[in-house]
Structure 1
Amino acid sequence: MDTHIADAISRPCLIRLTERVVCLRFETMKVVSALEAVRCLLDRGRISPGDTVIDSSSGIYAYALALACHRFGLRCRIVGSTTVDETLRLQLEILGAELERMPPSGSLELDQNRRVRRIEEILREHPEYHWMRQYHDGIHYLGYRGVAERIAEEVGTAGLTVVGGVGSGASTGALASHLRGYSEEVRLVGVQPFGSVTFGGQHVSDPDIIIAGIGSSIPFDNVDHTLYDTIHWVSFEAALAGSVELLRSHAVFAGLSSGAAYLAANWEDSLDGEGTVLFVAADTGHRYAESVFAHHRRARDVRGLAPHEVDTVDGLAHPWSRMEWGRRPPE
């Protein structure tokens, strides 16, 4: 029996959707990394109960870190973006986390840089705070070891392809790192939004939205490009279609990045008739009710969608592009 809700939330569900496609479904994925990172920092003596930890977040990590702090008796401070909605704000407040939201910005790059600058200002005032640095500290890889062990045990690693958002690099990158301890042949397929700098797609913008959680307008040190075999760039329009189809066909109510990963996973499955394709559904669909699921009637039929196959990022095109990355470093 669990003694804290964070422990329960940190365990994902494994759902076999078809003979070869499996969904790794989290309620809130970043609880896995935040919980283990905080536990490790405590064990190493870098922080102690009662200390304050701080980080920047567009939403999901804020909740994960607040739960980890509640679990271990720490104070939590978040510099958040305007994407932190009222439901999350209330949860953070009641959990005892201090949230400072940045003013609205028309640029994701400006928003992310502004949040980092604000953290640096706070740290100058409070050097005793510990900055979690979710985008840059490899400690966030540790929590996925147990998830990888479970995948290896229940799904196996022979012919396995893992598909999911790149984001900070500490989810799909960590899973691949741990799974390749069982088999170096495990393939990793990363999903990016158009406009993200991580794999060089910043020159193609998305007129609707940059999909939160899987892309970035600033470089992330936790992303190891040499782990990724293939990259898919998915637009809001295509990700919306994937999210709606995932719910309609399999009753899995998951977020926008999950819809993008589902779309990419089905395509990878269609290319190779052997092995298992496992995709990551990072969160539930609740915070996307108005922005995504309310528009389900206009969602495109996923059967009519296919990626543009490109050799270089110069060829990226909406609504969906795919490139063999080949585990190489960034250009």
Structure 2
Amino acid sequence: MIHPHITDALKVPDLVRLTDGLVLIRFESMKIYSALAAVRHLLEQRTLRPGQTLIDSSSGIYAYALALACHRYGMRCHIVASTTVDTTTRAQLEILGATVEQVRPSANLKLDQELRVRRVKEILVGHPDWHWMRQYHDDVHYLGYREVADRITTALPGVALTIVGGVGSGASTGSLVERLRVTDPSVRLVGVQPFGSVTFGSQDHHAPEAIIAGIGSSIVFDNVRHHLYDTLHWLDFSHAMSGTIALLRDHAVFAGLSTGAGYLAATYEARRHPDRLHLVIGADTGHRYVERVFARHAEALDPTALKPVEVSAPEEMTMPWSRTEWRRTARPASGKERAA
């Protein structure tokens, strides 16, 4: 097959068997599905006009995905980037035609995200004709992952399935499971969060370097549908890093930090539930984590010696790794106002 645009080749994931009970769905850059479908749909609905400028904030992979979608559909792109966006990613964004501004370095997830959201709002005051993609809140970002869910159903028919992935904006795990449960309501969803994220109530736990994970939030994300999640894991940076290093060492998979965190959580879940197949979402490759994660591989912990503390509610959690049965309950009271 000859693809009409590079996005068609990049978006398609590979399924990799890790163990009998563990399969990785590996993306080059997962959010390409989300960005392509969202831009296409908004153009078809005439919410967007050809050539309009699209703006959003991102810690990395959504920025790349949106720049690619804009390149494909002839749109302009402006990114308010996290301090974690590396030189390689920024260079690609700029060459693709996106304009990029990066917020000042922050010591924690909360300040980084608040600075980005604040800056987007400031820009929109001066450019009211620009369209804010609102990846955290607009459910148009659920559309693209339905195709991924259908691929999973075709590739893994008739299995007792558990999806394991970083929560982040909520769109990827939420969309996959909603689609899969149409035909199989027993599909389970395990969400992975860093400490310090407001999404499932860990905002009072301030983990050093949690910002690197990119799978949590200091603001309420409307695209997170809490009632879809069966189980939650909270991990600190050292555990996420250890899972990431183990994935490369044991399976030769060079993936990002959220994938490593998911791999560690899924390995634990697979031991508890050997009757189920656990599908780990590998959202991106490891390239943007070389200095912060892979160059520090000597610091990685032995994953076989790690296990979470089992808690019955978020307020009982403790670092560096906690797990709870969420049981598809609603959003917790966080006391935080939505920031966008």
SS at match of 1:278: strand
2: distance between equivalents of 1:211 and 1:232? 17
Instruction: Name the structure 2 match of 1:193.
Output: 194
Which amino acid in the other structure matches residue 23 of structure 1?
Answer: L
2: distance between equivalents of 1:202 and 1:261? 20
Which amino acid in the other structure matches residue 234 of structure 1?
Answer: L
2: distance between equivalents of 1:12 and 1:246? 17
Q: Tell me by how many angstroms 1:34 deviates.
A: 0.5
Gap change, CA 1:21 and 1:180, over 3 Å in 2: same
Which amino acid in the other structure matches residue 64 of structure 2?
Answer: Y
RMSD of equivalent CA atoms: 1.1
Residues 309 and 323, structure 1, Cα contact 8 Å, conserved in 2: yes
Residues 240 and 259, structure 1, Cα contact 8 Å, conserved in 2: yes
Instruction: Name the structure 2 match of 1:272.
Output: 273
Structure 2 residue 106 is the aligned partner of structure 1 residue 93: no
SS at match of 1:53: strand
- CA offsets 1:201-257 (integer angstroms, 9 cap, x no match): 111111233343210111100000000000000111111111111111111100111
Gap change, CA 1:281 and 1:84, over 3 Å in 2: same
Structure 2 stretches of 5 or more lacking a match? 333-340
Q: Tell me by how many angstroms 1:104 deviates.
A: 2.1
Superposition map of 1:153-192 within 5 A? 153-156=154-157, 158-192=159-193
Instruction: Name the structure 1 match of 2:76.
Output: 75
Which amino acid in the other structure matches residue 145 of structure 1?
Answer: R
Residues 211 and 257, structure 1, Cα contact 8 Å, conserved in 2: no
Residues 81 and 100, structure 2, Cα contact 8 Å, conserved in 1: yes
Superposition map of 1:112-191 within 5 A? 112-156=113-157, 158-191=159-192
Structure 2 residue 205 is the aligned partner of structure 1 residue 204: yes
1: distance between equivalents of 2:282 and 2:158? 19
- % identity of equivalent residues: 60
**Misfit runs of 4+, over 4 Å:** none
Gap change, CA 1:163 and 1:37, over 3 Å in 2: same
Residues 54 and 75, structure 2, Cα contact 8 Å, conserved in 1: yes
- Aligned residues between the structures: 331
Structure 1 stretches of 5 or more lacking a match? none
Instruction: Name the structure 2 match of 1:23.
Output: 24
1: distance between equivalents of 2:237 and 2:213? 10
Which amino acid in the other structure matches residue 27 of structure 2?
Answer: F
2: distance between equivalents of 1:213 and 1:31? 17
TM-score by length of 1: 0.97
Residues 197 and 217, structure 1, Cα contact 8 Å, conserved in 2: yes
Q: Tell me by how many angstroms 1:112 deviates.
A: 1.4
Residues 157 and 186, structure 1, Cα contact 8 Å, conserved in 2: no
Which amino acid in the other structure matches residue 24 of structure 2?
Answer: C
Which amino acid in the other structure matches residue 56 of structure 1?
Answer: S
Superposition map of 1:42-81 within 5 A? 42-81=43-82
Which amino acid in the other structure matches residue 86 of structure 1?
Answer: T
Which amino acid in the other structure matches residue 186 of structure 2?
Answer: E
- CA offsets 1:54-79 (integer angstroms, 9 cap, x no match): 11111111111000000100000111
1: distance between equivalents of 2:41 and 2:143? 9
Gap change, CA 1:134 and 1:123, over 3 Å in 2: same
Residues 70 and 95, structure 1, Cα contact 8 Å, conserved in 2: yes
Structure 2 residue 229 is the aligned partner of structure 1 residue 232: no
Residues 198 and 216, structure 1, Cα contact 8 Å, conserved in 2: yes
Which amino acid in the other structure matches residue 295 of structure 2?
Answer: A
SS at match of 1:6: helix
Residues 31 and 62, structure 2, Cα contact 8 Å, conserved in 1: yes
Which amino acid in the other structure matches residue 61 of structure 2?
Answer: I
Which amino acid in the other structure matches residue 98 of structure 1?
Answer: T
Q: Tell me by how many angstroms 1:156 deviates.
A: 2.5
Which amino acid in the other structure matches residue 309 of structure 2?
Answer: H
2: distance between equivalents of 1:248 and 1:71? 36
Structure 2 residue 128 is the aligned partner of structure 1 residue 108: no
Which amino acid in the other structure matches residue 86 of structure 2?
Answer: D
Instruction: Name the structure 1 match of 2:252.
Output: 251
Q: Tell me by how many angstroms 1:157 deviates.
A: 5.3
